[in-house]
Structure 1
Amino acid sequence: MSQTNRTESTMEPWIIELGELDRKMGVRIIEESVDKVVARMPVAGNTQSFGLLHGGASLAVGEAVGSWAAVKYASTFGKVVVGVDVSATHHRSATQGDIIITATPIKLGRRMTSHDVVITDEQDRRICSMRITNLVVDKPAQ
């Protein structure tokens, strides 16, 4: 269950913008809110030499989705985030179809956030479990 002080939130949440790597990997946003971010990504084009989903691709998309979830929260009080830690456990491989990446908050604080990121295949079998921690910081001057 997430913990947050929503009474201080006064701004609209940031709308997710895909980065260059996200577009190259074929990431699509399915759902986005402070409470949950869900994305899909094809296995095709994101495999390693033996035709399996590349573990690095899982980490890259999982970190992106977890960070987007953290930014959505931080943006409601005019802040952004930077990643400070990510850990992952790969449970099974995928060779076709899409993977679904879901980030939900563990803890939403004023200075730090932690999110669970679960990656499953289209049969809802867990591919990877991740945890990402982000530091909440001021927006850089533009």
Structure 2
Amino acid sequence: MSEQRPTAPTPESMTDGTWMIALGELDLKMGIKIVEESVQKVVATMPVEGNRQSFGLLHGGASLAVGEAVGSWAAVKHASTMGKSAVGVDVSATHHKGAREGTITITATPISLGRRMTSHQVVLQNEAGERLCTMRITNLVIDIRK
């Protein structure tokens, strides 16, 4: 299995002026797959299997980890249009419903896209389209370190 490493936005990692998502080690272990990526929407999927807690439900920490990843990717997509990157500074989540099996879909959409800060809503849904979790993530837009 070839491993994708996260990278800061560079001309080589960009198409159409935006950074292309690169999965990190945790993303690969969690089975995350990118479905769609743009400044206006990032969509990914993740299996429940392998991400359950001891009671057989999707782990809340797994929900937060995948939601933070997808929300941060969306922020970096925006920041890369300015030649910058982004880092998370705040995340909050409300869990609405549990899941025991299947694949969840994670969708990040912008609330506010600024020059210094972004906010995104991230929604996790099961295969029936039921909302499992709603998150809000705030990212700081930063200069890229060389």
The two structures have a TM-score, normalised by structure 2, of 0.89
Deviation (angstroms), 1:77: 0.9
Match of 1:36 in 2: 41
Task: State whether structure 2 residue 125 is matched by structure 1 residue 112.
Answer: no
| 2:101 counterpart of 1:96 | yes
- Identical amino acids, percent of aligned pairs: 72
Aligned positions of 1:115-134 closer than 5 A = 115-134=120-139
Provide structure 2 residue ranges, at least 5 long, that are not aligned to the other structure.
1-15
Matched, 1:69 2:78: no
C-alpha distance in 2 between matches for 1:140 and 1:58: 29
- Residues 9-50 of structure 1 show CA distances to partners (whole Å, capped at 9, x for unaligned) of xx7100000000000000000000000000000000000001
Aligned equivalents of 2:60, 2:91: Cα separation in 1: 14
Bigger relative contact order (CA 8 A; separation at least 6): 1
Query: Pairwise CA RMSD of aligned residues?
Result: 0.7
Question: Helix, strand or coil for the counterpart of 1:48?
Answer: coil
Q: SS in structure 2 opposite 1:96?
A: coil
Partner-residue secondary structure (3-state), 1:53: coil
Counterparts of 1:42 and 1:101, CA distance in 2? 11
